[in-house]
Amino acid sequence: MQGTSSAHAWADLPSALSTTLPEVNSTASSDGQLKAFITSDAIVSPAVFGIKAAGSNNCVLVTVSNGKCEVRGGDAGEAKPAFVLSALPEQWEQFFKQTPVAPYQSYWGMYGMNIKQSGIEVEGDQSAFAHWTHVWRRILELIHDTYAGPTPEDAQEESDEDVITGHYVVLKDIPVWGRSKCYYETAGTGPIPIVFLHT
């Protein structure tokens, strides 16, 4: 576990993580979640993707084959024809804090589903980026936790009483479906009702 003090140090990601990468390889080889993701006969040839700071060709390269994953420094050109996850040095600096604040707690958060942050870019094959999401997400978690230590979990009080209440309501005259039974849950009180919808 280490700390780098300035965004400038994150302009070269492999250098900033140089002492971390060997340990990441060791962790990756024994990580059950990653093993489950990459152990598949569907992986017929190695795939390579990269993680880098914007404006640099120096890259953390990840090579994935059936049952195996290798993480090392290299050149972004080696990730072709796959993809490279790129972010500004100051964004990587935020990401690699032990307890990153939103939206830096994940690359998805940085990338933004509805609002794209300036400086975040996926270079290369967008289909490969989507296809390997589960792998690059887990690799970034392993790199983060090896470098900065796991993000501490917030303490949560245990309660014997659940304040969430489930309800059913019948919705009538809905176009196409007609009459439909809908399940919803409520919790809390207050002057402003908030509705959460699954996307």
Does the pLDDT at position 116 exceed 50? yes
Q: Are strands 83-87 and 58-65 parallel, antiparallel or unpaired?
A: unpaired
- Res. 4: pLDDT tops 50: no
Residue 118 scores a pLDDT above 80: yes
**What is the predicted pLDDT for the residue at 149?**
94
User: Quick check: helix, strand or coil at residue 79?
Assistant: helix
The whole-number pLDDT of residue 7 equals 64
CA 23 to chain CA mean position, Å: 20
Rounded Cα–Cα distance for residues 14 and 59 (Å):
6
What is the residue extent of each domain of the chain? 7-148
**Token pair in block for residue 26:** 């060791």
* Range with lowest mean pLDDT among 27-31, 91-95, 97-101, 115-119: 115-119
Class of domain 7-148: alpha beta
State yes or no: cis peptide before 81, omega within 30 of 0: yes
Which pair of tokens denotes residue 96?
């690699």
Residue 114, pLDDT > 70, answer no
User: Is residue 17's pLDDT more than 50?
Assistant: yes
Average pLDDT on 149-171 reads: 86
Query: Residues 50-64: what's their mean pLDDT?
Result: 96
d(CA 49, CA 28) in angstroms, rounded, equals 15
Across the chain, mean pLDDT equals 90
Q: Among 10-14, 19-23, 87-91, 186-190, name the one with the lowest average pLDDT.
A: 186-190
Closest to 65 in 3D by CA, of 126, 132, 124 = 132
Q: Is the pLDDT score of 5 beyond 60? A: no
Cβ atoms of 71 and 21 within 8 Å: the answer is yes
Give the Cα separation of 67 and 145 in Å (integer).
Answer: 22
Report field, pTM of the whole predicted structure over 0.85: no
Residue 99 reports pLDDT greater than 60: yes
Mean pLDDT score, 63-83: 92
Residues 6+ apart with CB under 8 A from 155: none
Judge whether residue 3 has pLDDT over 60.
no
